[in-house]
Amino acid sequence: MLVVAYILETNEQQAKKRAKRRCRVRKIFSKRAQNGAFANLIGEMRLWDEDKYYNYFRMSSVQFDDLLHLVGPQLQKNDQFRTDVLSPAERLSITLRYLAIGDHMISMSYLHRVGKSTVSAVIKETCKELWLCLKDITLKLPSQNEWLAIAEDFEQQWHFPNCIGALDGKHVVITVPPHSGSSFYNYKGSHSVVLMAACDANYCFTLIDVGAHGRQSDGGIFRVSAMGEKFYQGKMNLPRQRRISLSRPALPYVLVADEAFQLTPFLMRPFPGRNIEQSLSIFNYRLSRARRVIENSFGILAAKWRIYGRPITASLETIESIILATVCLHNFLKKGDNNLPSVGRLYCPPNFVDREDEEGNILYGTWRQQITTLPSIGNAGSNSHSQSAAAIRNTFKEYFVSEGAVPWQWKRN
């Protein structure tokens, strides 16, 4: 009986010690309100150094406040028994900095003086709420009039008529999920999920599809994606066909993409081969100019949100929320830039993206000096195509070497 009593007493004491440890807050974390980054570094930058504040969050203090106004109510935690609950502003600060710098969560824990598990939970919840709050503001499906406006921008800026977007897919590298086998293993030798996206002429994403496993990228990924299915089923609410010239038949509105995608009536890809006749080469050049917009859109995204610069370690649900949140943040800030004169644009300054000189030579954007580009997907569709798709591409080709020609294109051949 004495032995049993001793064991019971020992177990009770150990349980009390464990409970005490669980309740105890580390001393450095208990000083968060006085010494944490939000109360000091961030507050000082907000008061005295707006440039550093912008660099820290990828947005101005005014934009931060606008964003907080949208997402803050969903981040509010009401706990009457605790006095150390993180405010919505702190939660947003932790998440934005994590996305902007791509640092490890333990580093964010030390910086903000909160536990690593708290940082993880905050990032997961905040990214989800950013997506839910911003998707209908920054990433809603365009109306027919909005598709027409996008097409007008592509024609004015990139000289490709009837174009409603540039399309591409990228691998987002992740730490291999437990028990996933080779599902996420891609042809580059890493593990990834695929971000498929289309953008407008001004580097804003218009359509995205997230979550395909990296292994899937070697065939048909666009067609089986939710985005691709809507195009194939004619459910994208596109405008009716339009003549690009009085002497030519009406053409559908199309996406432009590279040779990884299948030629269809709604998607134009280059003619294959290198030593090809001039008219084919001119078409490929004109398509490449328009398609470069999506390459730059992905470049801006990865350069501004450095979370893409290393394998993302999180649950698949959180990884998807991170991708969705950063795409919405990109659009939120890029659309704000578009309303400013070029000299006032901070998220995407004029020299940040590729541009051309007067003779049509490419001057590469400075984002290319800051990061390694996200890996492209492999062959995403069949090389076979219908006669109607070929006829549409041929009509564009003939237009580009006749009434739709631009002076500098002949030097590209």
Does residue 45 sit in the same domain as residue 190? no
Strands (DSSP E) found in 214-266: 254-256
- For residue 332, give the nearest of 353, 301, 290 by alpha carbon: 301
- For residue 266, give the nearest of 235, 294, 288 by alpha carbon: 235
H helices of 201-277, where? 221-224, 226-232
Q: What are phi and psi of 312, to 5 degrees?
A: -80, 125
Does residue 265 sit in the same domain as residue 328? yes
Place of tokens 């998707």: 135
Half-sphere exposure of 133 (CA within 13 A, CB side): 20
pLDDT value at position 21? Answer: 44
Does residue 124 sit in the same domain as residue 44? yes
- For residue 128, give the nearest of 334, 330, 320 by alpha carbon: 320
Q: What do you get for the CA distance between the two ends of the chain, in Å?
A: 96
At CA 96, angle to CA 92 and CA 97, rounded to 5?
120
124: Cβ–Cβ under 8 A, 6 or more apart, which residues?
314, 315, 317, 318, 321
Does residue 149 sit in the same domain as residue 267? yes
Its domain, for residue 58, covers 27-137
Instruction: Count up the domains in the chain and report the number.
Output: 2
Does residue 223 sit in the same domain as residue 362? yes
pLDDT value at position 365? Answer: 95
Does residue 126 sit in the same domain as residue 255? no
* Residue that terminates a domain, selected from 121, 137, 153: 137
205: three-class secondary structure by DSSP: strand
Does residue 96 sit in the same domain as residue 196? no
Q: What are phi and psi of 97, to 5 degrees?
A: -65, -40
pLDDT along the chain (413 residues), means of 10: 46 49 54 66 90 95 97 86 79 96 86 87 97 97 98 98 97 85 79 95 97 69 91 96 94 96 96 92 97 98 96 94 98 92 89 91 93 80 83 98 93 72
pLDDT value at position 341? Answer: 84
pLDDT value at position 19? Answer: 44
Question: Is 98 a domain residue?
Answer: yes
Question: Is 85 a domain residue?
Answer: yes
Does residue 148 sit in the same domain as residue 129? no
* Residue that terminates a domain, selected from 120, 137, 154: 137
Does residue 183 sit in the same domain as residue 318? yes
Assign residue 183 a region (left: φ > 0; alpha: ψ between -120 and 50; beta: otherwise). Answer: alpha
Do 264 and 385 form a contact (C-beta atoms < 8 A)?
Answer: yes
170: three-class secondary structure by DSSP: strand
Does residue 275 sit in the same domain as residue 375? yes
Question: Is 251 a domain residue?
Answer: yes
Question: Is 319 a domain residue?
Answer: yes
Does residue 80 sit in the same domain as residue 200? no
Q: How far apart are CA 94 and CA 37, in angstroms?
A: 9
Q: What are phi and psi of 355, to 5 degrees?
A: -145, 180
- For residue 222, give the nearest of 176, 269, 183, 177 by alpha carbon: 269
pLDDT value at position 20? Answer: 44
At CA 101, angle to CA 323 and CA 126, rounded to 5?
45
pLDDT value at position 115? Answer: 84
